[in-house]
Structure 1
Amino acid sequence: MTTGKGRTARGTVGGLKVERVWTTEGVHPYDEVAWERRDVVMTNWRDGSINFEQRGVEFPDSWSVNAANIVTTKYFRGAVGTPQREWSLKQLIDRVVKTYRAAGEQHGYFASPADAEVFEHELTWMLLHQVFSFNSPVWFNVGTASPQQVSACFILAVDDSMDSILDWYKEEGLIFKGGSGSGVNLSRIRSSRELLSSGGTASGPVSFMRGADASAGTIKSGGATRRAAKMVILDVDHPDIEEFVVTKAREEDKIRALRDAGFDMDLGGKDIVSVQYQNANNSVRVSDEFMRAVEEGKGFDLRARLDGSVIETIDAKKLFASIAQAAWECADPGLQYDDTINDWHTCPETGRITASNPCSEYLHLDNSSCNLASLNLMKFLRADGGFEVERFVKSVEFVITAMDISICFADFPTEKIGETTRAYRQLGIGYANLGALLMASGLPYDSEGGRSVAAAITSLMNGTAYRRSAELAGVVGPYDGYARNAEPHKRVMRKHAAANDAIKPTGSVATAIVREATKQWQQGNKLGEKSGWRNSQASVLAPTGTIGLMMDCDTTGVEPDLALVKFKKLVGGGSMQIVNQTVPRALRSLGYPRSRSRRSSSTSPSTATWSTRPVSRPSTTRSSTAPWATGRSRRWAMCG
């Protein structure tokens, strides 16, 4: 890692040499910012009553009220009103970063204590200045007396037995307790159209979903700081697929009827708990065979789980229409493309990918987990509209290194998950604020220019992450499962490099990013051929819900903004208003002049308004709809 003036020192057997990127030698990051004390008082949006209060908390004066409120209410540990309660952002960052540094030193990641100290200061600076954030479970658990659960995303496995189904309920509860979410494919469970060994009829997976849904609604994630997040998946050839598809849409019909009858069906309402299946996202796992049957208007076989026999042949197009209708009505189910997913799988010799985490960004082996961290893209956008390519590369290096270190000390809810995660070391670096970056650059979200920049940044992040993973493999060794999966892993890396080469950048910014991304893929794959990779997976694109608010992001994950002013209801009854801060910069980029308000001759610069007539507007920014236009979107549980 290096400063902006030098090049990165590559990993060697003796450990990593770490050079500065963001920090100044001899100056601690905390001494570079102005701090202030604040009172955090959260009121109930229903009746105005106070439901959280902590006075005198300490934050940099640059942090917004919303960011401070989120951190204080969600991430500070200790009972409110006791001396053990955290009260400063310094305490929170130190609790986490010092744990990472100690583990890195213990496990041989750094060449010297001086390198470990630079690593600590760089992470501290980046977190302090909202350049990136670890996922929420890190803030909940690391450095506390709780189990050190660092992963946000878990994939479980359920077999066709009552013992396995009851284990599923228990494992999900433990995952929710630690502030994380889980996903599971229920397709191994025999359908309600098959017989039990006793001669009775099986209940079917949709029936067992009720128990898991009730459990998730009871166990709030992270000690009641946010909702539990879960995903339930069913293969498209399962005999109960038609019932599964309409399950949530039918329940939401009940919600509307009960609401119209006067029942309290809002988030946290006292009557909403009477409605089922509201704590999970549902997805149908479709195959290429099914999609071809839809295109060709053919029949499709639903097969018994026990012997694979055909129970019924249905109209594929009719089922697909039912999926689309249900998704239009209630945003569920989503689709997961099984054959495509497994074609990009780095570890097929170990097992297939059958499921995902709740928000569908993490897809890997059963009984595995992935810890996430996301970079705030607006921190890399220069005033002149350029992108800080080199600093972005170095930041990815720091974050990937920290994430891999976390697996060395992490605790896991079950031994099976711990064994798989330690053997395959799945990571999920990602980003937030893409929508804001495009707005600030004057690029419509749905445009060739917007897609070009998004593709370039994503490829650069992914290529750098895997290159860093290959370097780490040269320092502390590849993941345990690499030898078994070396050839498929290298094949997928070549597919990524080929996808990067297929990007057709539009404009100088995207061109510069793609140029560096190509270099990263070439270097990383060359290193990987020699040393292997430390991680079976390196990146995901997460929704970045809570941590996006912590970083003062105007847009989360890869989405455009759903509104320029948003009102968010929080678990526990609190609320916040979120105002998009990127609009003035976006208007400048589009050529709108700044003009004084005519309502008062004494208007100060702070009350200046924007003219509604652009001086000039390049044709590349023309769009029939604004990039922040609202629309129906899938209702994700909060991940990150």
Structure 2
Amino acid sequence: MTQLTDAGQKVFNARYALRDEQGHICETFEQAVSRLARVAASAEKEAQPHWEEKFASIIGDLLFVPSTPIWANMGKPDRPWQPSACFVLAVEDTLYSMYETLLSTALVFKSGGGVGYNFSTIRPRGSLVQSTKGKASGVVELIKLYNASSNMVMQGGVRRGASMGILNIDHPEIMNFIHAKLDGGLTNFNLSVGVTDAFMQALEQGEDWPLIFNGEVHDVLPAAVLWQSIVQSAHACGDPGIIFLDTIQKANPLPHKQLNCTNPCGEQPLFPGESCLLGSVNLARLIAEDGRINRALFKDTVSIAVRFLDNLIDVAEYPFPLIAEATRATRKIGLGFTGLADALIKAGLPYDSAEGRKYAGEIIELMQQSANDTSRALAEEKGCFPEWENSKFHPAEKIRNGTCVTIAPTGSVTTMAGCEGYGIEPIFAVAYKKSTNVAGDFEVFSPLFLEACQLYGVSNSILEEVARRGTCQGIKEIPVEIARIFKGAQDIAPADHILMQAEIQKHVDNAVSKTINLPGAATTEDIETCYRMAYSLGLKGITVFRDGCKEGTVTVGRQEDAPEKFVLRRGEILPRPVSAHGMTHRLDTGCGKLYLTVNYQPDSGEILETFITTGSDGGCLVYTEATSRLISLAIRGGISLEEIVEQLQGTHSCPSYMLAKGKGKNLSQGKSCASAIAYKIAEIKAELKKQFSDYNGAGEILVDDTLLCECGEKLERAEGCLICRSCGLSKC
């Protein structure tokens, strides 16, 4: 059993470990590995102990790391055994369907999954609604509703609900959709335009493009106008990305059905109702003595991992029957890898070289071959997936799973695995600045980079210059052998990012989640080049990100002139936040039950506001509402929480409170409703302080102060997500 790193242990404790009724951790990493292995082996009709040992071996040695929902759900007595990370749901053009899908989404989020939707069935804004003779709100307004709902539900209790919204390029509301995130909204959604071969042909030939709904042409625009709108919006804010619909359909294992939607990060095309479970092979731990992949161990790990994922489909408890039926009909699994950058560095191959891409291609080709071999063997042993006779495999190839290989985001997985490179991505940078409350600011280097520098005798003064720049490129004292290999994401040309994605995509059944990083000075023409290149190379989708195009995104190197912290002046009141995390507590008082909701900043644990309501057994509703409003106003006016608590605790005793206590009733701490509220707020503040201080100083990158991880550390952009190097959060 491999010992987790400090960061890996933090991820396990915060997100995956079993907890008792009081919320205390009651499971070690070794026990969790046994839990997963036991559950997966329970699907075997024979030799369960043998397979339990095999599963525990590859997971315990961190050769294979299952995805977050598997760790967080499977085998726990207090949670549904829901292993899937990827879901797609259908949205039809009726009010009932819209809200039914919204409820289904909440249930999926609760179980730990992310959801994708293709909104092209929704009538455009301003269309006549026959039943009411009113006008339709349209696609973007519906997405806003779904986005707001995501703020209310955490994915499996460990992360905010994440969604993908796709709209086909011929929908009449496509312009509104393209521009939907320019104002910074829809933070829980990734957006992608569904582009067809026909549109790309119209673009190449300079033709007009009709916008059609239900067979009716609503408008006609030059294809070039639509294309430039996509490019300009992506340049400004990173959205929308592009999904190439015909390319996805060509790889569809069930060609008679339309496949036009993916999960939130775009790597898993799915039919409505389908889900897919994920896991990653850890390339960093599969390196042989010659610096290359240990092929025998790699193939063995892949084979056992495929069986593990396939077994979980059978023992899973899905959010509702439709998902269970659709998932088991195709039995799609998504085996991928993490630590590609580590493997390339250890092999001495630059990420942006033809040799590096060739080596990466060989790895994924071997993975696909081994995964398919195992799936074929499982089909002989256990049977093909139920839709096999309608699939492209019939009748020549008996196979257990509709798809096997996916390159997914690996935020928490990578931290658990102890890798430097997330999934397919290069290392983010070779040097970072780490900020802590206790030790102040200090430099943190890529361990692999530092190891190479020590081997070549690079001096501390040169490392200081690397830290200042955030890169080792262009520093003449850095040996060529180091500089050619250690390139961060922003040191690599966008074309080389795309070429790596294209090389991997050749051997991936599903798709690849990756971010094409561009410097802040990149132009719209640069982004257009990326999009056209992605289409020509046969990618299923593409996400680009220009450095600094969103507030709070990553900046490599030191910020010499950091802005001053904002301070409220007398009489100023901060506006109510658009979204916040919250918790609700019941208080038992002399007047009956009170319910206190405290909302707080997800990045720092700072309390923002309160809501107080009374139970059905009494209490003064007007009093509690007034108290709640004044507490929230005081907080947003800059008054310290300690001062607010002190004032509330200083109120006189309430006769009803004293009478109830005299009768032996078990009441909340305090002598009045006001003091009970104060004591509970103080208790919540202490809990939040402890929770967030556990992570202080664990971040490893320098960013603006405006976008932070839930653990309080900075986020970086990778794999189509924002990822925290400290706690492993992946925010897509």
* Same fold by TM-score greater than 0.5: yes
Instruction: Please name the residue that 1:216 is paired with.
Output: 150
Q: How do residues 166-181 of structure 1 correspond to structure 2 at under 5 angstroms?
A: 166-181=99-114
Instruction: Give the C-alpha shift of residue 545 in structure 1.
Output: 1.1
Structure 1: which amino acid aligns with 2:6? V
Instruction: Please name the residue that 1:284 is paired with.
Output: 193
* Contact in 2 for aligned 1:479/1:534 (Cα 8 Å): yes
| Aligned with 1:78 (options 5, 10, 19) | 19
- 1:576–1:134 CA distance, 2 compared to 1 (3 A): farther
Structure 2: which amino acid aligns with 1:136? T
Instruction: Please name the residue that 1:25 is paired with.
Output: none
Secondary structure of 2:220's match?
Answer: strand
Instruction: Give the C-alpha shift of residue 241 in structure 1.
Output: 0.3
Instruction: Give the C-alpha shift of residue 208 in structure 1.
Output: 0.7
Answering whether residue 448 of structure 2 is matched by residue 582 of structure 1, we say yes
C-alpha separation between the residues in 1 aligned to 2:203 and 2:443?
44
Q: How do residues 301-312 of structure 1 correspond to structure 2 at under 5 angstroms?
A: 301-304=210-213, 306=214, 308-312=215-219
Secondary structure of 1:582's match?
Answer: helix
Instruction: Give the C-alpha shift of residue 76 in structure 1.
Output: 1.1
Instruction: Give the C-alpha shift of residue 150 in structure 1.
Output: 0.4
C-alpha separation between the residues in 1 aligned to 2:129 and 2:55?
55
Structure 2: which amino acid aligns with 1:355? C
* Contact in 2 for aligned 1:299/1:315 (Cα 8 Å): yes
C-alpha separation between the residues in 2 aligned to 1:428 and 1:135?
10
- 1:171–1:293 CA distance, 2 compared to 1 (3 A): same
Structure 2: which amino acid aligns with 1:138? I
Secondary structure of 2:242's match?
Answer: strand
TM-score for both structures, normalised by structure 2: 0.62
Instruction: Please name the residue that 2:208 is paired with.
Output: 299
- 1:451–1:80 CA distance, 2 compared to 1 (3 A): farther
C-alpha separation between the residues in 2 aligned to 1:68 and 1:190?
48
Instruction: Please name the residue that 2:561 is paired with.
Output: none
| Aligned with 1:557 (options 423, 431, 443) | 423
Greater mean alpha carbon deviation, residues 92-101 or residues 208-217: 92-101
- 1:639–1:461 CA distance, 2 compared to 1 (3 A): farther
Instruction: Please name the residue that 2:239 is paired with.
Output: 332
Structure 2: segments with no counterpart, 5+ residues = 436-440, 463-474, 495-516, 520-543, 546-716, 722-729
Instruction: Give the C-alpha shift of residue 595 in structure 1.
Output: 6.2
| Aligned with 2:280 (options 356, 374, 381) | 374
C-alpha separation between the residues in 2 aligned to 1:480 and 1:227?
34
Q: How do residues 311-330 of structure 1 correspond to structure 2 at under 5 angstroms?
A: 311-330=218-237
- 1:623–1:371 CA distance, 2 compared to 1 (3 A): closer
* Contact in 1 for aligned 2:283/2:293 (Cα 8 Å): no
C-alpha separation between the residues in 2 aligned to 1:337 and 1:213?
24
Secondary structure of 1:529's match?
Answer: coil
* Contact in 1 for aligned 2:427/2:487 (Cα 8 Å): no
C-alpha separation between the residues in 2 aligned to 1:128 and 1:362?
27
C-alpha separation between the residues in 2 aligned to 1:221 and 1:471?
34
- 1:324–1:393 CA distance, 2 compared to 1 (3 A): same
Structure 2: which amino acid aligns with 1:206? V
* Contact in 2 for aligned 1:66/1:576 (Cα 8 Å): no
Instruction: Give the C-alpha shift of residue 441 in structure 1.
Output: 2.5
C-alpha separation between the residues in 2 aligned to 1:358 and 1:566?
28
Instruction: Give the C-alpha shift of residue 566 in structure 1.
Output: 5.3
Q: How do residues 523-602 of structure 1 correspond to structure 2 at under 5 angstroms?
A: 529=396, 532-565=398-431, 579-584=445-450, 593-594=456-457
- 1:558–1:596 CA distance, 2 compared to 1 (3 A): closer
Q: How do residues 121-160 of structure 1 correspond to structure 2 at under 5 angstroms?
A: 121-144=53-76, 145-160=78-93
C-alpha separation between the residues in 2 aligned to 1:568 and 1:243?
40
Greater mean alpha carbon deviation, residues 554-563 or residues 536-545: 554-563
Q: How do residues 208-607 of structure 1 correspond to structure 2 at under 5 angstroms?
A: 208-223=142-157, 225-249=158-182, 251-252=183-184, 276-304=185-213, 306=214, 308-349=215-256, 351-485=257-391, 488-489=392-393, 529=396, 532-565=398-431, 579-584=445-450, 593-594=456-457
Secondary structure of 1:103's match?
Answer: coil
Structure ranking higher on relative contact order (CA contacts 8 Å, 6+ apart): 1
Secondary structure of 1:558's match?
Answer: coil
Q: Count residues with an aligned counterpart.
A: 486
Answering whether residue 37 of structure 2 is matched by residue 97 of structure 1, we say yes
**Could you say what the CA RMSD is over the residues aligned between the two structures, in angstroms?**
3.1
* Contact in 2 for aligned 1:439/1:627 (Cα 8 Å): no
Instruction: Give the C-alpha shift of residue 565 in structure 1.
Output: 4.2
Greater mean alpha carbon deviation, residues 148-157 or residues 618-627: 618-627
Instruction: Please name the residue that 1:265 is paired with.
Output: none
Instruction: Give the C-alpha shift of residue 391 in structure 1.
Output: 1.1
Instruction: Give the C-alpha shift of residue 121 in structure 1.
Output: 2.1
Instruction: Please name the residue that 1:187 is paired with.
Output: 120
TM-score for both structures, normalised by structure 1: 0.71
* Contact in 2 for aligned 1:444/1:627 (Cα 8 Å): no
C-alpha separation between the residues in 2 aligned to 1:77 and 1:135?
16
Structure having the higher Rg: 2
Secondary structure of 2:167's match?
Answer: strand
C-alpha separation between the residues in 2 aligned to 1:161 and 1:413?
22
Instruction: Give the C-alpha shift of residue 87 in structure 1.
Output: 3.8
* Contact in 2 for aligned 1:303/1:309 (Cα 8 Å): yes
| Aligned with 2:141 (options 190, 200, 207) | 207
* Contact in 2 for aligned 1:439/1:586 (Cα 8 Å): no
